[in-house]
């Protein structure tokens, strides 16, 4: 196995995106994403069974498309990487099964990795000649999507990731989707709220910032809560409707968006200060939010922090970030996973790689690095 510049195919199926990525070391060769979002629209959120079935249909065509896009041959791969968790169990199982089958058929090692750490891994990819600054450590990472809202302290991508806090109820993207529904907008709500908010007044209504009171700060300093905010928006809209008054949709959208952005960045910037970390990395689909990006730039500038935001195609769930994390593990000398790993819907973020094989002595016997560990 080429450990200096490994060619890795990554498979991501933790939610509603079937993502296949191919990287060589830190160079992105292909990033194919097939989303089943449209199929979930009429339910107002991701339906796990529908997502899993869509992965089954999309996986093989997505692998073929990624191989064609990259110009590589599957035989040339050094390893397969796959998301083992966290995520939707049924959806994860499809990717895990496919990755094991591919690894066995090709006789390649497999790396089972953590989806959340993968989001951070997206940032090690170099996207051209001008992209020369590598990810530096330590970094605080704020990951916000429809499925997660997590604040991480990353001391080392392949060996030391600590969960500082996460949402105790809804994910930030989920809150956008629910509030959009209250305002009569279709799923996914994030982009619609963002668009409506553009012409609204963010100070029109003061919505609550979850877990920001002094007593919350003791126990939930870096945790988030968005369900109270969602309820508060629902009440406000109901009062208006009950009074027979029109609902100022743009102002509600802008005020809600402001509350989400404010609390996300207040806590992320505080974590940087508390831990003496001079950089902040953003990831997840909610990073598409225009106001979030703008306030992130303003606040990190004011606090003297470096801000990193990967391109959106690498912020939303994708296979390239999984391949990138797999490649980093290989380059840092980690052994492949044994084949006795499964899908783990609640995989803790500290577990960067699942079921790593025990380190084998360099001389005599042991894995030649070309066979999945556990296969004899």
Binding site for ligand KG4 (CB under 6 A): 15-16, 145-147, 173-174, 176-177, 188-191, 194, 284-286, 288-289, 316-317
The one of Zn ion, ligand KG4, none whose footprint includes residue 262, by CB under 5 to 8 A per kind, is none
Q: Which of 31, 36, 145, 167 binds Zn ion (CB under 5 A)?
A: 145
Closer of 145 and 300 to ligand KG4 (Cβ): 145
Please, what is the minimum distance in Å from the beta carbon of residue 173 to ligand KG4?
Answer: 3
Please, what is the minimum distance in Å from the beta carbon of residue 172 to ligand KG4?
Answer: 7
Which listed range, 44-52, 139-147, 163-171, 229-237, lies at the site for Zn ion (CB under 5 A)?
139-147
The one of Zn ion, ligand KG4, none whose footprint includes residue 189, by CB under 5 to 8 A per kind, is ligand KG4
Q: Where are the alpha helices (DSSP H) in the chain?
A: 37-40, 48-70, 89-106, 115-121, 172-182, 189-197, 214-219, 227-242, 249-275, 290-303, 312-315, 319-331
Residue among 69, 27, 19 nearest 331 (CA): 27
Can you give the C-alpha Rg of the chain in angstroms? 21
Please, what is the minimum distance in Å from the beta carbon of residue 163 to Zn ion?
Answer: 15
Element (H, E) at 346: none
166 touching Zn ion, by CB under 5 A: no
For 21-46, b/e burial (b = at least 16 CB within 10 A) is: bbbbbbebbbbbbbbbeeebeeeeeb
**CA angle 207-209-210, nearest 5°?**
125
Please, what is the minimum distance in Å from the beta carbon of residue 258 to ligand KG4?
Answer: 12
The one of Zn ion, ligand KG4, none whose footprint includes residue 194, by CB under 5 to 8 A per kind, is ligand KG4
Please, what is the minimum distance in Å from the beta carbon of residue 71 to Zn ion?
Answer: 28
The one of ligand KG4, Zn ion, none whose footprint includes residue 191, by CB under 5 to 8 A per kind, is ligand KG4
317 touching Zn ion, by CB under 5 A: yes
Distance CA 157, CA 155 (A): 7
Strand 149-156 relative to strand 139-144: parallel, antiparallel, unpaired?
Answer: antiparallel
Please, what is the minimum distance in Å from the beta carbon of residue 274 to ligand KG4?
Answer: 26
Please, what is the minimum distance in Å from the beta carbon of residue 148 to Zn ion?
Answer: 6
- Give SS3 for 286: helix
The one of Zn ion, ligand KG4, none whose footprint includes residue 310, by CB under 5 to 8 A per kind, is none
Spatial neighbors of 238 by CB under 8 A, at least 6 apart, are: none
Spatial neighbors of 4 by CB under 8 A, at least 6 apart, are: 25, 331
Closer of 281 and 305 to Zn ion (Cβ): 281
- Confirm if 120 and 141 have CB atoms less than 8 A apart: yes
Which listed range, 145-153, 231-239, 306-314, 330-338, lies at the site for Zn ion (CB under 5 A)?
145-153
- Confirm if 140 and 271 have CB atoms less than 8 A apart: yes
- Extract the tokens encoding 375: 């296969």
Distance of CA 39 to CAs 16, 133, 165, 196, Å?
10, 39, 32, 24
Closer of 145 and 158 to Zn ion (Cβ): 145
Closer of 31 and 145 to Zn ion (Cβ): 145
Closer of 26 and 145 to Zn ion (Cβ): 145
Closer of 174 and 251 to ligand KG4 (Cβ): 174
Closer of 31 and 316 to ligand KG4 (Cβ): 316
Closer of 139 and 145 to Zn ion (Cβ): 145
Please, what is the minimum distance in Å from the beta carbon of residue 15 to ligand KG4?
Answer: 4
Binding site for Zn ion (CB under 5 A): 145, 317
């Amino acid at each position: 196995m080429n450990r200096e510049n490994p060619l890795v195919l990554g498979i991501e199926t933790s939610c509603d995106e079937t993502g296949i990525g191919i990287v060589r070391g830190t160079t992105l060769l292909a990033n194919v994403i097939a989303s089943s979002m449209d199929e979930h629209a009429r339910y107002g959120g991701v339906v796990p069974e529908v997502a899993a079935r869509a992965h089954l249909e999309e996986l093989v065509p997505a692998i073929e498309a990624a191989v064609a896009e990259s110009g590589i041959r599957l035989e040339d791969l050094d390893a397969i990487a796959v998301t083992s968790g966290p995520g939707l169990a049924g959806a994860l199982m499809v990717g895990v099964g496919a990755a094991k089958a591919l690894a066995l058929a090709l006789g390649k090692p497999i790396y089972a990795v953590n989806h959340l750490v993968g989001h951070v891994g997206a940032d090690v990819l170099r996207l051209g000649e001008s992209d020369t600054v590598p990810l530096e450590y330590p970094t605080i990472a704020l990951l916000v999507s429809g499925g997660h809202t997590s604040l991480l302290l990353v001391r080392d991508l392949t060996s030391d990731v600590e969960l500082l806090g996460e949402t105790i109820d809804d994910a930030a993207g989920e809150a956008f989707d629910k509030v959009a529904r209250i305002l009569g907008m279709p799923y996914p709500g994030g982009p619609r709220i963002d668009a409506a908010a553009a012409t609204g007044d963010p100070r029109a209504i003061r919505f609550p910032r979850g877990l920001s009171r002094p007593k919350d700060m003791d126990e939930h300093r870096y945790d988030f809560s968005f369900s109270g905010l969602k309820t508060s928006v629902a009440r406000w809209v109901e009062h208006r409707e009950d009074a027979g008054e029109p609902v100022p949709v743009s102002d509600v959208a802008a005020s809600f968006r402001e509350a989400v952005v404010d609390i996300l960045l207040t806590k992320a910037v505080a974590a940087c200060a508390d831990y003496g970390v001079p950089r902040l990395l953003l990831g997840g689909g909610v990073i598409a939010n225009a106001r979030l990006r703008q306030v992130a730039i303003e606040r990190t500038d004011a606090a003297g922090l470096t801000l990193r935001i990967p391109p959106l195609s690498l912020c939303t769930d994708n296979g390239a970030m999984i391949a990138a994390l797999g490649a980093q593990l290989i380059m840092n000398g980690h052994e492949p996973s044994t084949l006795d790993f499964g899908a783990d819907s609640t995989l803790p973020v500290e577990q960067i790689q699942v079921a790593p094989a025990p380190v084998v002595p360099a001389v005599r016997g042991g894995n030649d690095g070309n066979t999945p560990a556990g296969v004899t």
